[in-house]
Homo-oligomer: A and B are copies of this chain.
Amino acid sequence: MVTLEENGSKVAMGKVSAELAVTPGTATSMVKNMERDGWLKYYPRQGVSLTRKGKKVAMNMLRRHRLLETFLVETLGLDWSEIHIEAEELEHAISEKVLEKLDEFLGSPRYDPHGHPIPSKGGTIQRPSSQTLQNCDAGITVRVESILDQDSDFLKFAREKELLPGKAVSVIKSEKLADVITLKIDGREPFSMGFRSAEKILVV
């Protein structure tokens, strides 16, 4: 959803239709309605970009989503691999009033359990790192910022390997041709992962 239009550029209709799991024709029709209502600007055959108004509600939805995820893990003790889907529903049902009470109760956290920054009430959000594990050279040590993939199984795998936000990761080797990177976290056994997966880990 929201995650698509982070940057200022246009999102292709194909992405929209795939993300919303509707046919391309339906996506076009939806997007036209949303333009009519002022949420976004639609450039036929190019894509859509959020208006200021649209960006505002998108940020607010991201705030809802991430505060809820934090609550589900911190307060109720759910696993970080299962909270995304739950928050996806709850974010639409929670009122502004309850949301702010929740924020207060949680102590205004800045990051959700996946390491994603939580937008402020005003709608500003901390820019994420542009580095991923994929573009890290052998020998250096980095700190995990966040996990991009919301897939439940991938998150379980990441926790298993202790690939968690805040953790220090040493890059043992990075083999471009073989498309694989080998890592070491704390005193644990080194392990390898493909670039495809490494790209899902944001680091600083």
Q: Which residues of chain B have C-beta atoms less than 8 A from A75's C-beta? A: 75, 105
Interface size on A, residues (CB 8 A): 18
Q: Across the two chains, which residue of chain B brings its CB closest to A78?
A: B101
- Taking CB atoms and an 8 Å cut-off, the chain A residues in 56-80 that contact chain B are 72, 75-78
A76 touches B102 (CB 8 A): yes
B77 touches A101 (CB 8 A): yes
The A contact surface, by secondary structure, is helix
A95 touches B89 (CB 8 A): yes
Cα distance A102–B77 in the bound complex, in angstroms: 9
Using a CB–CB cutoff of 8 Å, the interface residues on chain A facing chain B are 72, 75-78, 82, 86, 89-90, 92-95, 97-98, 101-102, 105
What are 5 A-B pairs with beta-carbon distances under 8 A?
A: A76-B105, A78-B101, A89-B95, A90-B90, A92-B93
Which 9 residue pairs are nearest across A and B when measured between Cβ atoms? A93-B93, A76-B101, A89-B93, A90-B93, A86-B98, A76-B105, A86-B95, A78-B101, A76-B102
